[in-house]
């Protein structure tokens, strides 16, 4: 029975998640909003498919946030984090202090006692890491100034939760103070402050040590087994272990795994970890958002619509105004301040934890807590919408998309733009450079960029996967766009953007594989360069030479093969949309023809009609 009900639950949640993503994307609202709405729809106040267990599910789904922070950490190198220190502590600290006080003042104005008002301020100052980061990522805004600022502030909020948890019981007005101590079921209770501090610090140091020293030999050993699931298990163990450790010492699990991620950012296993954890993150976060949707108490909202909606609206307005002002004070441009404020204006999941704690500490009563919870939930649900709206508004106001502070890219007026400066693109760029042809190079790997710059290559940091980077890179003036990225989806995306906005650009594109070449042909591209085609042919040529074939004969064989294969590739691209049988038989036919053409002369192995001596009588018409 229990077994069946677990599966039923899983079925409902997964189906809901699927519908949410598809519908959210279709309607242009983004997946996060889709999840929240569907969550509310299947919850006890909607279709009632899901009931009281949503809290458990939410707890489980919170693990999604932890995994997400780990992945965010992986993307962030320590140097980058260090560069953001002023944003994190300056902007983050100011945000928490300012918003707490502002919101508390507003509550006092509505007749609240200052103590619960301050508690409310602290609780509502938090924003939703999961919703904000995911929504920004969906809109490709993470790398923008607004995105980076939001990230810095969210990171600081994660840190700030710890002292807030400590401070909440002090704000109780009732007599239930002793409940507060038990509420956090803290095993270090009664320890001196320095002891707690030491343990906490020790835990963080332990995480760094584990991540830096222990993971390498461990992952190497596991990688050697070539069992993918072993690696996945190890990744999950690492995350869960760190999450447990952090929770034990009273730190945010998400923060702990974030630190671990940062430490592992330069590790050679980074990409493996990313690709292993990415699906978990997506699914768990989806569950988390669904859970938030399910948890919205429409009954309570129905009873106190004015209070709850007023609270949500007031919360968003007060925070948005304060954060906007703060960003302008930090000399952020108007547009990015606007997006930044919209992103952080809502409440966050920490509020639920803190409200629970506040009840047990006697800060709020049940009704107040329910109103707060509902208000926070509504404001969270509004966050993706706010981000969407602010992005649309600013995108229209600005001729070009939000500027990217991370990128030091600027329009050099070069005739060539190269997207991707990895093992393929850098050869193109260097060849051009030896011929005095300037190219603007985009690469999103800061290490690669640093190295190349150190040796004098004019490479710019910028996510070449972002179409708006093209404009910044000077696509309006360039003649040629070279795309040498590995990811076919990003490549197609850039092609689409370039065709739409910069139709004058001649596109030269690298195809990673034959399959990708078909896709590019389908997309109408002609100048396609298959990744290793030429070096494979060079190797084949050398093998033929080693076997005794004359060098020039082998050279021509490879060139002829290449030319014919290009023809066949284009032929096959047309057959690709037929059914499987037709495709396979066409492929067989093409293969046969290729073999025949290349081997038409028995005994010599290559069909090259060049310089064939005349077979007829030599006496006439022969030079």
Partner 1 sequence: MPPEAMGKVLVIFAHPAFHRSRTNRVLVEAARSAEGVTVHDLYETYPDFLIDARAEQRLLEEHDAVVLQHPFFWYSSPALVKEWLDLVLQYGWAYGEKGDALRGKVMAQAITAGGPEDAYQREGTNHFSVRELLSPFEQTARLCGMAYAEAFTVHAANHIGDPDRTAAGERYVEWLTAIRDGSASLWLPGPG
Per-residue contact flags (x/-) with partner 1 for residues 539 to 578, judged by CB under 8 A: ----------xxxxxxxx----------------------
612 binds partner 1 (CB under 8 A): yes
Smallest separation, CB 77 to partner 1 (Å): 43
- For partner 1 (CB under 8 A), the number of binding residues is 21
509 in Cβ contact with 491 (< 8 Å): yes
194 binds partner 1 (CB under 8 A): no
Smallest separation, CB 484 to partner 1 (Å): 24
584 binds partner 1 (CB under 8 A): no
Comparing CB distances to partner 1, the nearer of 524 and 623 is: 623
Q: What is the 3 state secondary structure string of 470-511? A: HHHCCCCCCCEEEECCCCHHHHHHHHHHHHHHCCCCEEEEEE
Comparing CB distances to partner 1, the nearer of 52 and 619 is: 619
Report the alpha-carbon distance of residue 545 to residue 552 in Å, rounded.
9
Report the alpha-carbon distance of residue 607 to residue 621 in Å, rounded.
25
Q: Which residue has the tokens 């060139």?
A: 559
Per-residue contact flags (x/-) with partner 1 for residues 222 to 261, judged by CB under 8 A: ----------------------------------------
Smallest separation, CB 538 to partner 1 (Å): 10
The residues, any chain, with a CB within 8 Å of residue 289's CB and separated by 6 or more, are 20, 32, 35, 36, 39, 130, 131, 134
* Structural element, H or E, at residue 442: strand 439-443
Report the alpha-carbon distance of residue 151 to residue 432 in Å, rounded.
38
Nearest to 324 by CA among 343, 309, 310: 343
434 binds partner 1 (CB under 8 A): no
Radius of gyration of the chain (CA): 30
**CA angle 200-201-202, nearest 5°?**
90
204: its two tokens? 């963080």
According to DSSP, residue 524 is labeled T
Comparing CB distances to partner 1, the nearer of 358 and 557 is: 557
Smallest separation, CB 567 to partner 1 (Å): 22
Smallest separation, CB 439 to partner 1 (Å): 25
Report the alpha-carbon distance of residue 133 to residue 33 in Å, rounded.
13
620 binds partner 1 (CB under 8 A): yes
Comparing CB distances to partner 1, the nearer of 206 and 598 is: 598
149: its two tokens? 């600022």
Smallest separation, CB 597 to partner 1 (Å): 17
Nearest to 502 by CA among 528, 526, 461, 468: 468
535 binds partner 1 (CB under 8 A): no
For residues 65, 66, 71, 74, the Cα torsion angle rounded to the nearest 10 degrees is: 140
Smallest separation, CB 601 to partner 1 (Å): 9
400: its two tokens? 């070009």
600: its two tokens? 């038409």
Comparing CB distances to partner 1, the nearer of 579 and 621 is: 621
Report the alpha-carbon distance of residue 349 to residue 498 in Å, rounded.
40
Comparing CB distances to partner 1, the nearer of 115 and 556 is: 556
Nearest to 165 by CA among 351, 372, 379: 351
Comparing CB distances to partner 1, the nearer of 194 and 552 is: 552
520 in Cβ contact with 528 (< 8 Å): yes
Comparing CB distances to partner 1, the nearer of 522 and 601 is: 601
618 binds partner 1 (CB under 8 A): yes
Smallest separation, CB 598 to partner 1 (Å): 15
Comparing CB distances to partner 1, the nearer of 109 and 619 is: 619
623 binds partner 1 (CB under 8 A): yes
Nearest to 19 by CA among 42, 50, 52: 42
Smallest separation, CB 620 to partner 1 (Å): 6
143 in Cβ contact with 82 (< 8 Å): no
Part in contact with partner 1 (CB under 8 A); list of ranges 97-105, 167-175, 248-256, 605-613: 605-613
Part in contact with partner 1 (CB under 8 A); list of ranges 98-106, 213-221, 295-303, 610-618: 610-618
515 binds partner 1 (CB under 8 A): no
Smallest separation, CB 596 to partner 1 (Å): 20
Smallest separation, CB 613 to partner 1 (Å): 4
599 binds partner 1 (CB under 8 A): no
622 binds partner 1 (CB under 8 A): yes
Smallest separation, CB 622 to partner 1 (Å): 4
Q: Which residues are at the interface with partner 1 (CB under 8 A)?
A: 549-556, 604, 608, 610-614, 618-623
């Amino acid at each position: 029975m229990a077994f069946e009900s677990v599966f039923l639950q899983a079925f409902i949640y997964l189906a809901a998640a699927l519908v949410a993503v598809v519908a959210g994307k279709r309607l242009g609202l983004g997946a996060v909003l889709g999840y929240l709405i569907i969550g509310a729809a299947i919850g006890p106040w909607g279709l009632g498919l899901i009931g009281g267990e949503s809290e458990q599910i939410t707890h489980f789904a919170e693990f999604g946030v932890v995994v997400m922070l780990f992945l965010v950490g992986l993307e962030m190198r320590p140097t980058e984090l260090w560069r953001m220190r002023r944003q994190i502590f300056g902007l983050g600290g100011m945000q928490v202090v300012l918003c707490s006080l502002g919101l508390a003042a507003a509550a006092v104005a509505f007749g609240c006692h200052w103590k619960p008002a301050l508690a409310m301020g602290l609780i509502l100052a938090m924003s939703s890491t999961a919703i904000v980061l995911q929504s920004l990522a969906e809109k490709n805004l993470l790398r923008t100034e607004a995105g980076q600022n939001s990230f810095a502030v969210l990171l600081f909020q994660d840190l700030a939760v710890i002292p807030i948890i400590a401070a909440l019981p002090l704000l109780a007005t009732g007599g239930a103070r002793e409940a507060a101590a038990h509420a956090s079921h803290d095993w270090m209770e009664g320890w001196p402050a320095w002891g707690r501090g030491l343990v906490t610090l020790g835990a963080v140091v332990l995480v760094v040590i584990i991540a830096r020293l222990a993971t390498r030999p461990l992952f190497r050993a596991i990688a050697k087994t070539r069992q993918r699931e072993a690696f996945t298990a190890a990744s999950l163990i690492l995350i869960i272990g760190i999450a447990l450790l952090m929770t034990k010492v009273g730190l945010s699990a998400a923060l702990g795994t974030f630190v671990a991620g940062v430490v592992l950012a330069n590790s050679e296993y980074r990409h493996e970890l990313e690709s292993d954890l990415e699906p978990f993150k997506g699914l768990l976060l989806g569950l988390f958002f669904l859970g938030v949707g399910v948890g919205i108490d429409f009954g309570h909202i129905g009873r106190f619509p004015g209070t709850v909606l007023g609270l949500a609206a007031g919360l968003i307005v007060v925070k948005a105004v304060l954060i906007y002002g703060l960003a302008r004070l930090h000399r952020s441009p108007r547009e990015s301040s606007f997006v930044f404020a919209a992103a952080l204006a809502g409440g966050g999941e920490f509020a639920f934890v803190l409200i629970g704690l506040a009840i047990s500490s006697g800060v709020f009563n049940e009704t107040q807590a329910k109103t707060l919870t509902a208000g926070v939930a509504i404001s969270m649900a509004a966050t993706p919408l706010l981000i969407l709206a602010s992005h649309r508004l600013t995108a229209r106001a600005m001729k070009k998309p939000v500027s990217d502070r991370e990128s030091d890219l600027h329009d050099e007026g070069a005739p060539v733009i190269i997207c991707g400066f990895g093992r393929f693109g850098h050869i193109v760029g260097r060849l051009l450079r030896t011929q005095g042809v300037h190219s603007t190079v985009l690469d999103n790997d800061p290490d690669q960029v640093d190295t190349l710059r150190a040796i004098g290559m004019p490479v710019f940091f910028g996510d070449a996967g972002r179409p708006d980077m093209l404009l910044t890179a000077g696509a309006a003036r360039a003649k040629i766009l070279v795309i040498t990225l590995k990811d076919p989806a990003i490549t197609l995306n850039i092609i689409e953007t370039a065709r739409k906005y910069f139709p004058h650009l001649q596109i030269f594109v690298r195809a990673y594989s034959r399959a990708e070449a078909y896709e590019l042909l389908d997309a109408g591209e002609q100048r396609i360069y298959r990744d290793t085609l030429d070096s494979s042919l060079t190797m084949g040529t050398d093998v033929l030479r080693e076997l005794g074939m004359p060098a020039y004969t082998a050279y021509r064989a490879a060139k002829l093969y290449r030319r014919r294969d290009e023809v066949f590739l284009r032929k096959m691209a047309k057959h690709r949309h037929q059914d499987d049988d037709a495709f396979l038989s066409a492929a067989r036919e093409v293969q046969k023809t290729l073999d025949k053409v290349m081997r038409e002369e028995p005994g010599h192995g290559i069909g090259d009609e060049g310089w064939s001596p005349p077979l007829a009588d030599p006496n006439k018409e022969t030079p």
